Amino acid sequence: MAKLHFLYSVMNAGKTTHLLQVRHNYIENGGHVLLFTSLIDDRFGVGKVRSRLGLEADAIPLRKEDAIGTIVADEHAKRPVTAVLIDEVQFMTAEQVRQLAWIVDELHVPVMAYGLKNNVFGTLFSDAISTMMALADDFQEIKQLCHCGRKATMILKYDRNGEAVRSGEVIEIGGEGRYVSVCRPHWTKGDIGPAARQLLARPVAAE
């Protein structure tokens, strides 16, 4: 039976590496996989999914107005789709997530959606994530560690002085150097940890 899977984590936990490995496994077994990513996330180029380990693949860039259900149904009619994989599902719309459920229920195609569950302010990242939490059949946490050794469950945003940022924009594409994944107590304290502080202390190279 096809299911809607939500695979979530904090930042830098290896979500994209996991996604690309799943894609590889399907293709190795002759599967027809559709990989989608958000048009918002163009860090590696439009329609590119790349992990921190250097693995990468082409993906279908999805705009907020795109009907992903129609895109998948049209492709499925030409050649049966084995699975649909979503990178950065938190950037989708709630309606697009509802269409993912439709793909599972009506086309009987499994969907595996990867993304961040929480934002830096300690709430669910977006309406898309709220909808995913309500509709998904299966939940899998991809775990990451805080600098103290506990499981990281929160994302802490910080400024150039290492101070926690508690307001402003949730989305800042390309701002990875200002985020760290931490446990809830250290998120509450705003403690970014020694490794992040050491990186801040490095001198900026001359241009």
8 A C-beta contact, residue 34 and residue 80 = no
Separation between Cα atoms, residue 125 and residue 80, nearest integer Å? 33
> With bands split at pLDDT 50, 70 and 90, how would you rate the model's confidence at 22?
very high
Determine which of 63-72, 75-84, 108-117, 194-203 has the lowest per-residue pLDDT on average: 194-203
70 with 88, same domain: the answer is yes
Task: Give residue 167's domain range.
Answer: 145-207
- Is 89 exposed, middle or buried (CB count within 10 Å of its CB: 0-12, 13-18, 19+)? buried
Q: What is the mean pLDDT of residues 183-195?
A: 94
Binding annotation for ATP: 9-16, 87-90
Looking at residue 207, its pLDDT comes to: 36
User: What's the pLDDT at 167?
Assistant: 85
Q: How confident is the model at residue 45 (pLDDT cuts 50, 70, 90)?
A: low
Instruction: Tell me: do 103 and 165 sit in the same domain.
Output: no
Catalytic residue among 88, 141, 169, 207: 88
Residues 136 and 149 in one domain: no
Do 129 and 169 lie in a common domain?
no
Last residue of a domain, one of 143, 160, 193: 143
Side-chain-side CA neighbours of 136 within 13 Å: the count stands at: 21
Same domain, 94 and 170: no
Among 143, 158, 182, residue at a domain's last position: 143
Residues 95 and 171 grouped into a single domain: no
Final residue before a domain boundary, out of 123, 143, 163: 143
Q: Does 121 share its domain with 156?
A: no
Q: Are residues 114 and 162 in the same domain?
A: no
Q: Are residues 112 and 175 in the same domain?
A: no
To the query of whether residue 141 is one of the catalytic residues in this protein, the response is no
| Residues forming beta bridges with residue 61, ordered by sequence position | 37
Report CA 75 to chain centroid distance, whole Å: 24
The DSSP annotation for 90-121 comes to GGS-HHHHHHHHHHHHHH---EEEEEESB-TT
Specify binding-site residues for substrate: 171-174, 179
CATH code of 132's domain: 3.40.50.300
User: Is the pLDDT confidence value at 103 over 90?
Assistant: yes
Predicted confidence (pLDDT) at residue 92 exceeds the cutoff of 70: yes
The reported pTM is 0.87
Mean pLDDT of the chain: 89
Give the count of domains, the chain. 2
Cβ within 8 Å of residue 3, ≥6 positions away: 104, 110, 111, 137, 138
Residue 78 sits in the same domain as residue 170: no
Is the same domain home to 122 and 163? no
Per-residue model confidence as pLDDT tens digits over 108-145? 999 999 999 999 999 999 999 999 999 999 999 999 99
- Annotated binding-site residue numbers for Zn(2+): 146, 148, 183, 186
Same domain, yes or no: 103 and 167: no
Q: How far apart are CA 44 and CA 50, in angstroms?
A: 7
